[in-house]
Chains A and B, each alone.
Chain A
Amino acid sequence: MQSNKIHRLGAMVLAALWLVLTVFAWCLPPRALSESERRPLAQPPQVTVQDILDGSFMKEFETYALDQFPGRDSFRKLKALFHYYALNRADNNEIYLAEDHAAKLLYPLDVSAVELAMSRLQHVYDKYLKDANAQIYMAVIPDKSFYLAPALGYPTMDYDAMFSLVQEKAPWAEHISLTDVLDIEDYYKTDIHWRQENLLPVAQKLTQTMNLTVPEEQDFTKVSVDRPFYGVYYGQAALPMQAETMYLMESSVTGACTVYDHETGKTMQVYDPSMLESKDLYDIFLGGAKSLLTVENPNAKTDRELIVFRDSFAGALVPLLLQDYAAVTLVDIRYISPEVLGNFVEFAGQDVLILYSTTVLNTKGILK
C-alpha cells in the first residue's frame, strides 16, 4: 500500500516535471542565436493553409521546436555526457576527445570530393594563372586527425592518397608539404584551426621555398587576446572543455598594413579589435570568413605581390608572410565564384599560393 502511494507520487512528480518542460517549451520567447553552435535558431513558422496542406508547416515547426527547446544547451551537454561517459561512446556528433584535444572524425577519403575541388582549382589555373607568368605554390594543411587519430586508433582518411591526388591533379604548382613542420600542439584544443603563435616553422618553410625573407621569432611580439577562446568543436561536441588563450603575433609589419574588404568596401586592420565581439574569435585573423581581401603593406621590402587561394586557416598564416609583399590578395572561392574573380583581381606576375585544408578538400562541392 505504502509502495503504491510512492508509486503514484513518483508518477505525479514525473508528470509535473514533464509539464514544467512543456510550459517552458510553449511559453519561452524564441531565441535568435545559438552561441555554442554559432548558428541562427529557427523561428516560429507562419501558419497558412497552404503550408499545412503541403506539410511544410509541420517540418518547420519540428525544426523550431528542436531549436527553441528550453535549456537547449544544457540538454545538449547532458546528451554528450551520457553518450560519451555513460555509454562509453568514442565520439559525440563525430567529435572525439583525445590528448585533451577535440577533433572531428574525418573519414573516409572522398576521392570524388578531392577531384571536384581540384577541378575547380584547375579551372582557376586555366582561366587566370596559366598565362599570367605566375609562380604557383600549393600546400595542403593537415587537419588535427592527421596527428591524433592513427596513434590512438581512430579511423582516418588515407592522407597519403589525398596528397598524391592533389599533386597529380595540379602538376603546374610547386607542392610544399606542411606535415613535417606541424604537430598536434600547433592546433587549438577546442577548435579546428591552428595556433598562429606556433606557425613560424610553417611560415619559414613556405618563405624559403618561395624565395622570400624568412621570418624569425624576434620579428614578432606574442600578445594574448583578452577574451577566452572556445573553438568550434567545443560547441559541436558539447563536452566539458577548458577555455583557451588565443595569441596574436604582432609586428611592425602587421601593425602598418591595411586590409581592404572588396565585399563591403571597408578597410580594417590585420587583427581588427572590432572582431573581439565576433561570435567566432578566430575572426580576429583578417576578419574571418571573407570572399576577397587585399592586404596592403606600406613597409614591404619588395614590390612583389601575392595572391592566396585559401580557406580560414590562411587568416592566421598570412600575417607571418607579409614582410616582403607590397600587396597580398586573399581569395576564398567558397564564397566567390572564380567566374567573376577577374572583375576584381588582375592576374599579372604575382606569386600564387594555394592553401587549403584537408577538411575543405574532402568536402564535396564546397569550392565554387
Chain B
Amino acid sequence: MLFSSIPFLYYFLPLVVLIYFLVPRKLKNAVLLLSSLVFYGWGEPKYVFLMVFTIAMFYLCGLLIGRAKKQGWKKFWLTVSAVISVALLAVFKYADFFVSSFNAVTGLSVPLLRLALPIGISFYTFQSLSYTIDVYRGNVPAQKNPIAFGAYVSLFPQLIAGPIVRYADVARELEHRTHSVDDAALGLRRFLVGLAKKIILADSFALLMAQFRQSTEPSVLFYWMYAIAFMLNIYFDFSGYSDMAIGLGRIFGFHFIENFNYPYLSKSVTEFWRRWHMSLGSWFRDYIYIPMGGNRVSKARWIFNILTVWMLTGLWHGAAWNFVLWGLMFAVLLLLEKWIPALQKLPGVLRHVYVLLAVCISFVLFNAESFAQVGSDLAGMFGLSGLPLVSVQTIYCLRSYGLLFVLGVVGATPVVKRAALRVSETKLGTVLEWICMAGLLLVCTAYLVDGSFSPFLYFRF
C-alpha cells in the first residue's frame, strides 16, 4: 500500500490510528504488528508469509544469540541469521541479475526465476540484520516478546522505504513509549510535508521525465532538464517518504532517525553521503566498513574496503550493473577527495558546482535502463549528439515546469523550513501554518483523486 494513496489516507490510516489509541497500552504493539502485516499484504499478499518467516527467523536467532554462553555459538546463530537473510535477498532480488550476467558471459541460456521483488526487502533485511549483529555485539539485549519484535521488523511507517531504523534506536520505545497531542501534532505536520513533497513535487518531476523519454524533439536543454528533474524527483520522493515515515512514527510514539539533511547543499561528495540516505550510509559504515578495518589498515586494503562498500551500496539500490557502477563512481570520487586535499581549498561555489554536477551525472547513470542509454543521455547533455540546443517541446516544458523547478530548488534548501519556523513563532503564524497544512491535505487529496497510480521510487529497493 502506498502512503500517497486514497486507501491508505482515508481507509487504512484513520482506522489503525483509531484502534491504536483505543486499545490498552499492552495491545498497542499487537495492533501495529497486525496492521503492518495488512499494510504489507495489501501490495503482495503472498509475501506476508516471507515477512512472518523473516520475523520468526530473526526473533529466534536473536534469542539464541542472547542465550548462548559461548562466543562460538553466538557467532553461529549470527551467521545463520545473516546467511538466511542474505540468501533470501539473493534469491528474490539478485538471482536474475546473477543469472543474466552469467548468461551474458558464458553465452548460455540459464532460465531466469522472474520472481516479483518483495516490497521493501532490502530495508527490512538490513534493519533485522542490525538487530542480530547488535545482540551479538552485546549492544542490546535480545527481545523476548515476539509481538514487540514483529512490530519492529514490520512497522508499516518505515517498512517499505526506510529510514533503516536500528533496533537499538527504538528498543526502549518498543516497550515504553509515550504518546502526546504535541507529538501527534508534530507527526501529523511532518507527514503532510512529506506527502506534499511526494505528490506535488516528486510526481510532477516524474511526469516531466516521462515526457522527455517520449519526446521526438530532444535537445541539449531537454537532456539537462531531464537530469535535473530526476535529481529533484528522487530527492523529494525519497525524503518525502522519510518525512512521512518519521511523522507517522511520531504519531505512534517512535522517534526515528533523520534520513536526509539537505544533501544538495554539500560541498564534497563525502559530505553529500553524510546528508543523503543517512540511515543506509551509517549502516554500511557500522556493519561493513568498520568491521572490514575501515581506514585503519594498509592503503591497498583501505582502497579495497572503500570499493567493496560502495559496490555493495550500489547493489543495494538495484540488481543491475549500472547500480554497481553508480556505487563505484562514488567510491572513486571519495578516494579522490581524500587523496587530493587541495580540492577542499577550492572556492565554495566551485565545490558546490562540482558536487551537483557529479551527483547529477551519477543519477543519469542510476536511472538509465541500459549502458547504451547512459551513453546517449550523457552525450545528449554535453552536446555530443548533434542535437539542437532547444526545441519547441523543450521551451514548452520549461514554461510548464519552470515554477516547479524554482520550488524544487528552493525546497531542497533549508529556506522553507527556516521561514516556516520563523512564521510559526507567532500566534498568527501558527494559525497560518495549520491552514497551510489543511490546504496541503486537500491539495494532495485532489491530486490523488484526479491522478493515477504513482509508485514510490524506492519500492524497487
On A, residues with C-beta under 8 Å from B are 2-4, 6-8, 10-15, 17-19, 21-22, 25-26, 52-55, 58, 61-62, 65-66, 69, 72, 75-76, 78-80, 82-83, 87-91, 93, 107-109, 153-156, 238
Q: What's the Cα separation between A15 and B46 when bound, in Å?
A: 34
Q: Give A72 to B185 CA distance when docked, in angstroms.
A: 27
Task: Report Cα–Cα, A316/B50, bound state, in Å.
Answer: 60
CB < 8 Å: which of A3, A12, A55, A108 contacts B430?
A3
Cβ-defined contact, A10 with B437, below 8 A: yes
User: How extensive is the interface on chain B, given as a class?
Assistant: 35 or more
**Which residues of A sit under 8 angstroms from B434, Cβ to Cβ?**
6-7, 10-11, 13-14
Q: What would be 10 A-B contacts, judged by CB atoms less than 8 Å apart?
A: A6-B430, A8-B181, A14-B434, A58-B43, A65-B6, A78-B446, A89-B404, A108-B214, A108-B217, A153-B395
A8 cross-chain contacts in B, Cβ below 8 A:
181-182, 185
Q: How far is the CA of A82 from the CA of B450 in the complex (A)?
A: 12
CB of B11 within 8 A of CB of A25, answer yes
**Cβ A65 vs Cβ B11 within 8 A:** yes
User: Which of these, A15, A69, A87, contacts B403 with CB under 8 Å?
Assistant: A87
Complex contact A25–B6 (CB within 8 A): yes
Bound-state CA distance A109–B216 (Å) is: 9
* Given the contacts A12-B181, A17-B438, A87 and B404 also touching, CB distance less than 8 Å: yes
Q: Are A14 and B441 in contact (CB-based, < 8 A)?
A: yes
- Whether B450 contacts A238 by the Cβ 8 Å rule is yes
- Beyond A58-B43, A153-B399, whether A18 also contacts B441 by CB under 8 A is yes
Residues of the A chain whose Cβ atoms lie less than 8 Å from the Cβ of B431: 6, 10
**Chain A residues positioned under 8 Å from B188 (CB to CB):** 11, 14-15
In whole angstroms, what is the CA distance A233 to B189 when docked? 36
Minimum Cβ distance to chain A for residue B253 (Å): 15
Check if A90 sits within 8 Å of B396, measured CB to CB. yes
Provide the B372-383 mask, 1 if CB < 8 A to any CB of A, else 0: 000000000000
In residues 1-19 of chain B, which contact A (Cβ within 8 Å)? 1, 5-7, 10-11, 14
Tell me if B215 is interfacial: C-beta within 8 Å of chain A.
yes
Q: Is B443 an interface residue (CB 8 A)?
A: yes
- Inter-subunit contact A11/B449 (CB<8 Å): no
Contacting residues, chain A, for B425 (C-beta < 8 A): 3
| B45 at the A interface (CB under 8 A) | yes
Extra 5 A-B pairs, beta carbons < 8 Å, given A65-B6, A65-B7, A155-B392: A25-B6, A65-B10, A88-B403, A89-B400, A108-B216
**Distance of A155 Cα from B217 Cα, bound (Å):** 9
B398-426 residues at the A interface, CB under 8 angstroms: 399-404, 407, 424-426
Known: A11-B181, A14-B441, A65-B11. A55 touches B446 (CB 8 A): no
Closest beta carbon of chain A to B232's beta carbon, Å: 14
Report how far A80 CA is from B451 CA in the complex, Å.
11
B204 within 8 A of A: yes
Contact between A155 and B7, CB atoms less than 8 A apart:
no
* B residues lining the A interface (CB < 8 Å): 1, 5-7, 10-11, 14, 42-46, 181-182, 184-185, 188-189, 200, 204, 214-217, 392-393, 395-396, 399-404, 407, 424-427, 430-431, 433-434, 437-438, 441-443, 445-451, 453
Partner of B450, one of A13, A76, A155, A156: A76
Residue of A nearest to B396 (CB): A155
Q: A11–B7 contact, CB under 8 A?
A: no
Given contacts A18-B14, A52-B45, A53-B46, is CB(A75)–CB(B6) below 8 Å? no
Q: Which chain B residue lies CB-closest to A10? A: B434
Q: How far is the CB of A115 from chain B (nearest CB, A)?
A: 16
Complexed CA–CA distance, A12 and B446 (Å): 21
Please name all residues of chain A whose beta carbon is closer than 8 Å to the beta carbon of B396 when the two chains form the complex: 90, 153-155
Cα separation A4 to B5 with both chains bound (whole Å): 31
What is the CB-to-nearest-CB distance from B42 to chain A, in angstroms, rounded to a whole number? 5
In the complex, the answer to whether A11 meets B43 with C-beta atoms within 8 Å is: no
How far apart are A60's CB and chain B's nearest CB, in angstroms? 11
The 7 closest A-B pairs by CB, nearest first: A10-B434, A11-B185, A90-B400, A79-B446, A108-B216, A78-B446, A79-B450
A53 CA to B49 CA in the complex, in Å? 12
- Chain B: CB-nearest residue to A154: B396
Instruction: Give the CA-CA distance A58 to B437 in the complex, in Å.
Output: 29
In Å, the complex CA distance between A80 and B450 comes to 9
The answer to whether A4 and B427 touch across the interface, beta carbons within 8 angstroms, is no
Q: Is the CB of B446 within 8 A of A7?
A: no
Contact A14 B437 (CB under 8 A): yes
Known contacts: A8-B182, A22-B10, A87-B403. The answer to whether A78 contacts B437 by CB under 8 A is no
What A residues does B214 contact at CB under 8 A? 108
A72 and B402 contact, CB distance less than 8 A: no
Are the C-beta atoms of A2 and B441 separated by less than 8 Å?
Answer: no
* Bound: A90/B426 CA distance, A: 37
Given A10, A76, A91, A93, which contacts B449 in the complex, CB threshold below 8 Å?
A76
Alpha-carbon distance between A6 and B400 when the two chains are bound, in angstroms: 38
* Nearest CB in chain B: distance from A162 CB, A: 13
Instruction: Please report the C-alpha to C-alpha distance between residue A82 and residue B393 in the assembled complex, in whole angstroms.
Output: 23
CA of A82 to CA of B436, assembled, Å:
14
A3 contact from B44, B217, B395, B427, Cβ within 8 A: B427
CB of A66 within 8 A of CB of B6, answer yes
- State in angstroms the CA–CA spacing of A359 and B401 once bound together: 26
Determine the residue in chain B with the shortest Cβ distance to A54: B45
* CB-defined contacts of B437 to chain A, threshold 8 Å: 10, 14
Q: How far is the CA of A21 from the CA of B445 in the complex (A)?
A: 10
Closest residue of chain A to B453 (Cβ to Cβ) is A62
Q: Which residues of B contact A19 (CB under 8 A)?
A: 14
Identify the closest chain A residue to B444 (Cβ): A79
Q: Are A11 and B184 in contact (CB under 8 A)?
A: yes
Q: CB distance A17 to B427 under 8 Å?
A: no
Known: A11-B181, A65-B11. A72 touches B400 (CB 8 A): no
A10 touching B430 in the complex, CB below 8 Å, given contacts A62-B5, A87-B403, A155-B392: yes
Q: Which residue of B lies closest to A150 (CB)?
A: B392
Instruction: Decide if A66 touches B438 in the complex (CB within 8 Å).
Output: no
Is A78 a contact of B392 with CB atoms below 8 Å? no
Q: Which residues of B have CB within 8 Å of A17?
A: 438, 441
Closest partner residue, chain A, to B443 (CB atom): A82
Q: Are A13 and B438 within 8 A (Cβ)?
A: yes
| A15–chain B nearest beta-carbon distance, Å | 7
Residues of A within 8 A of B395 (CB): 153
Which of A14, A17, A69, A88 has the largest count of B CB atoms less than 10 A from its CB? A14
| Chain A residues, Cβ within 8 Å of B184 | 11, 15
With both chains docked as a complex, state the minimum distance between the C-beta of A70 and any C-beta of chain B, in angstroms.
9
Compute how far the CA of A89 lies from the CA of B397 in the bound complex, rounded to whole angstroms: 9
B200 nearest CB neighbor, chain A only = A87
Q: Is the CB of A78 within 8 A of B6?
A: no
CB of B254, distance to nearest CB on chain A (Å): 18
**By the criterion CB–CB under 8 Å, are A79 and B181 in contact?**
no
Contacting residues, chain B, for A75 (C-beta < 8 A): 442, 445-446, 449-450
A187–B402 CA distance with the chains assembled, in angstroms: 31
